[in-house]
Amino acid sequence: MAAAASTKSTFELQITGSEAENAMRKLVFAAAVGIQDGALSNLAQPLVRIALKLLMLLRAHRASHVGPGAYVPPDDAAHDNWMTNEQDLLDAVAELEAELTTHYVKDKIDGGAAANVQKRANKRRMLLQKVNSIVRDGLLKAIRGKTLLSHLENKEYVTEEIENLNTITPVQATRLVSLTCVRLIIDIFSVMAKRGGSGKSLFQDLCALPDPSKDSWPTVERRLLEAKSHLLALRPADPEAVIDVMIAMQMHTLLQQGTLLPDEKYREAYRLVLDGVEQQLDAPG
């Protein structure tokens, strides 16, 4: 009897790039649950939890910045402090370590013999390397061609890992915050929050022509009032600042629409400019 063909494990995530954050969180976690190999799925799930918790901590850190001077992102020591003191992160790490321990037991390398220490380190690195590449590849596939997100596949930490044939370092195997899949999840959510479908797309309604064939009066009125609230939240200093924001949003929309033109050479030209603009928007501060 022929052996059944093995199924390749994949991280299946399908998005438009305009999802609300809560829905996006559920989609990313569901993709981790859906990885075909149960053991790899059990490793991916806590890694997603770690990434999403770190995202919240990074936002809180950014929001706490007051006074003059540029915002300084948290350094490695701050990240490591979170990993050893935040209960949600501790719980996620414990879940991941429990799954790894089942593999150590299965391979009979869980004992206290000195030789087992290196064997466990090798096994840990192999498993995390595998799940990291699966989640990373699924994320890259999901954002490919998405105007607001596609430039993330050109991040140096992503391209370097792919060029190194998906290899992770021994440090990454122990310092989970440095895994590419964790960093990429944080970057995707950060970009979507910065320019995603919430406030800024609402604000574009102020500049768009209402379409009575698609929208009712109450719907248009509600969205315009939401856009007004978003604009006021930006605290423009004066009327000129309001106009500057409107111009910036319209020019950004022009670039986005340019990437949808039928002529490929024009699409590519607009995408190159848009990617440059988005990389500036992604910069700290």
Ordered DSSP codes for 194-258 = HHSTTHHHHHHTTTSPP-TTT--HHHHHHHHHHHHHHHHHT--SSHHHHHHHHHHHHHHHHHHHH
Express each pLDDT in 196-242 by its tens digit.
444 455 566 666 677 777 778 887 787 777 677 666 656 677 777 77
Mind listing the pLDDT tens digit for each residue in 148-195? Answer: 788 899 999 999 999 999 999 999 999 999 999 999 999 999 888 765
Length of the chain: 285
pTM for this model (two decimals): 0.72
Sign of CA pseudo-dihedral 196, 198, 200, 201 = positive
Cβ count near 221 (within 10 Å)? 12
Cα 235 → chain centroid: 28
d(C-alpha 34, C-alpha 49), whole Å: 15
Q: In the chain, where are the structural domains located? A: 21-64+71-193, 199-282
Residue with tokens 């809180």: 60
pLDDT tens, residue by residue, 56-78? 999 888 878 777 777 788 999 99
24, 128, 131 from 104: Cα distances, Å: 34, 14, 17
**Rounded-to-integer distance, Cα 184 and Cα 134, Å:** 12
pLDDT in tens, 73-125: 899 999 999 999 999 999 999 999 999 999 999 999 998 899 999 999 999 99
Across the range 266-284, mean pLDDT stands at 74
Q: Which residues of 26-42 are buried (b: 16+ CB within 10 A; e: fewer)?
A: eebeebbeebebebbbb
